[in-house]
């Protein structure tokens, strides 16, 4: 595929500016607020699972190892991760908003993500099930990060990064089963978490005077934070042992649903999955790219099993295509029903904005999926999920409005771990309901674009649709 390149107007001066920004970024990246050792904690927990070989056989070694990467998922909120969006697993009907990462809010998030993780192990394919474990693992680990466990702790970054990650190992630890039923295990998890949070908050108390000293000695802080990381790893080991034991146990015979989704191409991002949702239930999954692709567009396959018998309406959606809802389908225990979807392209084709015409709201009744209400400069704004962009490619940015008073802006920015930098705003002319369009070519400091709709009205009353389309030939 060839890209129409934007005119290269970079002067030496701009290059110097870019370099300076990159240097500043490097300096600021140190201060990103994230418990440093997520990956090492998950890895240490996986290493002590007593039945690891069995889980590898049932889930695949690759998927099990990928839990190390998936344990970052909530820190990647809104991000496009190639074959899926972090939000495909982070936003669920039982928790349709981004979860808080610290005390006190994080404590209330465990039940929704715990039950969703068990459901994924029982009903979805291994690749989907393992991704769906990511949010819970992350939130459990964050709860045991000293500055997350003790609210409003200063020196946040030092208290979660002054740690020797190579020392995180819990060899010899024997994970405990938290319960024999889902409810029993969840109650025990809550208690285990309360102890972990108290343990980590106490480490924050001990480490705080050391990091606040005029010349803090990192070597004195490291062993204290290591204690918290090791306790985190023990809890994650208990959690994984319990999830796999309960979630991968043989189930009473349920109903299965399989099918394909054929959809339009997403230019430059055609490896993405398609969402499958059993409307009005917690059940759903992601169709992943099929081995045999059509000559044009995209095809994916999905499979759900162990579903309760019943009659369902099934929604299929993929970026760049219009959503479709099936006729009611009745699922019977012991049988696999087949349901294929062919999704028509968005208008214009190749639109990277998710839910660009506000037709989807399956996560929360009345709230448009993948849009958030935010305040920008004292104004009420609807903000779309960010779409990844490529520098040097020209993008068509457009909108057709229902309310001529609504303003539409396109915000190009660099996103790293929930942080945003270097925003460039492209605004459409005000006062038009007829489709309006502009063009913009992002530079190397723009990784994503977000659509902002300035309006006091519900989004569906303000816009007919918006679009961001890369100009590819
Ligand atoms: Zn976090």
Max CA separation in the chain (angstroms): 68
Distance CA 396, CA 4 (A): 12
CA of 239 to the centre of ligand 1 (A): 18
CA of 37 to the centre of ligand 1 (A): 11
Tell me the domain boundaries of the chain: 1-30+349-473, 31-247, 255-342
Asked whether 373 and 418 are in contact (CB, 8 A), the reply is no
Residue 297 carries which DSSP code? S
pLDDT score of 4 more than 80: no
pLDDT score of 16 more than 80: no
Residues within 5 A (CB) of ion ligand 1 = 75, 101, 142
φ/ψ of residue 113, rounded to 5: -75, -30
CA of 301 to the centre of ligand 1 (A): 31
What is the arithmetic mean of pLDDT over 54-61? 98
pLDDT score of 307 more than 60: yes
**Residue with tokens 């674009």, as numbered in its chain:** 449
* C-alpha dist (Å) from residue 388 to 85, 138, 340, 368, 414: 10, 23, 28, 20, 10
Share of the chain above pLDDT 90, in %: 82
Structure tokens at 363: 């996560």
CA of 108 to the centre of ligand 1 (A): 15
In CATH, what class is 255-342? mainly beta
> What CA dihedral angle connects 398, 401, 403 and 406, to 10 degrees?
-10
Convert the pLDDT of each residue in 195-210 to its tens digit: 999 999 999 999 999 9
Distance CA 371, CA 386 (A): 10
CA of 92 to the centre of ligand 1 (A): 17
CA of 142 to the centre of ligand 1 (A): 6
Question: Architecture of 1-30+349-473 per CATH?
Answer: Sandwich (2.60)
The rounded mean pLDDT for the chain is 91
DSSP letters, 335-379, are: -EEE--EEPPBPSSTT--SSSTTS----SSTTS-TTEEEEEETTE
334 burial via Cβ count (<10 Å: 0-12, 13-18, 19+): exposed
CA of 137 to the centre of ligand 1 (A): 10
Asked whether 298 and 263 are in contact (CB, 8 A), the reply is yes
CA of 409 to the centre of ligand 1 (A): 29
CA of 42 to the centre of ligand 1 (A): 14
Please tell me the predicted confidence (pLDDT) of residue 30. 36
Asked whether 298 and 262 are in contact (CB, 8 A), the reply is yes
Convert the pLDDT of each residue in 74-132 to its tens digit: 999 998 898 999 999 999 999 999 999 999 999 999 999 999 999 999 999 999 999 99
Of 57-61, 160-164, 189-193, minimum mean pLDDT range: 160-164
CA of 141 to the centre of ligand 1 (A): 8
Distance CA 387, CA 137 (A): 26
CA of 305 to the centre of ligand 1 (A): 31
CA of 333 to the centre of ligand 1 (A): 40
* C-alpha dist (Å) from residue 421 to 305, 418, 445, 473: 43, 10, 8, 30
pLDDT class for 25, splitting at 50, 70, 90? very low
CA of 100 to the centre of ligand 1 (A): 8
pTM: 0.90
Residue 191 carries which DSSP code? H
Please tell me the predicted confidence (pLDDT) of residue 11. 38
Distance CA 222, CA 226 (A): 6
Please tell me the predicted confidence (pLDDT) of residue 362. 93
Please tell me the predicted confidence (pLDDT) of residue 33. 63
What is the arithmetic mean of pLDDT over 43-60? 98
Please tell me the predicted confidence (pLDDT) of residue 461. 97
CA of 234 to the centre of ligand 1 (A): 18
> What CA dihedral angle connects 344, 350, 353 and 356, to 10 degrees?
-40
Residue 89 carries which DSSP code? H
Convert the pLDDT of each residue in 369-382 to its tens digit: 999 999 988 899 99
CA of 106 to the centre of ligand 1 (A): 10
pLDDT score of 171 more than 70: yes
Distance CA 128, CA 131 (A): 5
Distance CA 299, CA 295 (A): 10
φ/ψ of residue 53, rounded to 5: -60, -40
CATH topology of domain 31-247: P1 Nuclease (1.10.575)
Convert the pLDDT of each residue in 397-456 to its tens digit: 999 999 999 999 999 998 776 778 778 999 999 887 889 999 999 999 999 999 999 999
């Amino acid at each position: 595929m060839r890209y129409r390149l934007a005119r290269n107007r970079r002067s030496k001066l701009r290059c110097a500016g870019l370099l300076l920004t990159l240097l500043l970024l490097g300096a600021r990246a140190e201060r990103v607020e994230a418990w440093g050792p997520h990956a090492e904690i998950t890895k240490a927990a996986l290493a002590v699972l007593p039945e690891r070989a069995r889980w590898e056989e049932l889930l695949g070694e690759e998927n099990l190892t990928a839990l190390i990467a998936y344990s970052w998922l909530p820190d990647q909120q809104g991000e496009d991760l190639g074959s899926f969006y972090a939000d495909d697993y982070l936003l669920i009907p039982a928790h349709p908003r981004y979860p808080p990462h610290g005390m006190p809010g994080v404590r209330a998030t465990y039940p929704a993500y715990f039950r969703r993780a068990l459901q994924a192990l029982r009903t979805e394919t291994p690749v989907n099930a393992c991704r769906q474990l990511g949010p819970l693992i992350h939130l459990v680990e964050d709860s045991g990060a000293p500055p997350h466990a003790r609210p409003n702790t200063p020196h946040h970054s030092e208290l979660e990064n002054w740690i020797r990650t190579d020392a995180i190992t819990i060899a010899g630890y024997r994970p405990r089963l938290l319960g024999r039923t889902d409810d029993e295990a969840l109650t025990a998890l809550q208690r285990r978490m309360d102890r972990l949070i108290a343990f980590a908050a106490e480490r924050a108390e001990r480490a705080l005077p050391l990091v606040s000293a005029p010349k803090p000695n990192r070597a004195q802080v490291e062993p204290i934070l290591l204690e918290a990381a090791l306790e985190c790893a023990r809890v994650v080991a208990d959690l994984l042992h319990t999830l796999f034991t309960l979630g991968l146990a043989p189930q009473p015979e349920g109903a299965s649903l399989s099918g394909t989704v054929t959809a339009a191409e997403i230019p430059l991002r055609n490896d993405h999955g398609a969402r499958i949702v059993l409307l009005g239930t917690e059940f759903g999954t992601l169709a992943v790219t099929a081995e045999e692709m059509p000559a044009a567009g995209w095809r994916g396959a999905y499979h759900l099993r162990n579903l309760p018998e019943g009659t369902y309406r099934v929604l299929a959606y993929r970026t760049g295509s219009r959503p479709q809802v099936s006729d009611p389908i009745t699922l019977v225990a012991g049988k696999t029903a087949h349901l294929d979807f062919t999704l028509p392209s968005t208008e214009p084709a190749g639109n990277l904005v998710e839910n660009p015409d506000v037709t989807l709201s399956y996560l929360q009744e009345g709230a448009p999926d993948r849009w958030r209400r935010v305040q920008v400069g004292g104004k009420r704004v609807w903000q779309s999920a960010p779409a990844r962009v490529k520098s040097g490619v020209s993008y068509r940015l457009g909108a057709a409005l229902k309310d001529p008073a609504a303003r539409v802006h396109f915000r190009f920015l660099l996103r790293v771990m929930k942080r945003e930098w270097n925003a460039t705003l492209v605004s459409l002319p005000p006062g038009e309901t007829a489709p309006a369009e502009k063009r913009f070519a992002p530079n190397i400091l723009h990784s994503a674009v977000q659509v902002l709709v300035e309006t006091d009205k519900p989004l569906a009353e303000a816009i007919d649709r918006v679009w961001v389309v890369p100009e590819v030939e």
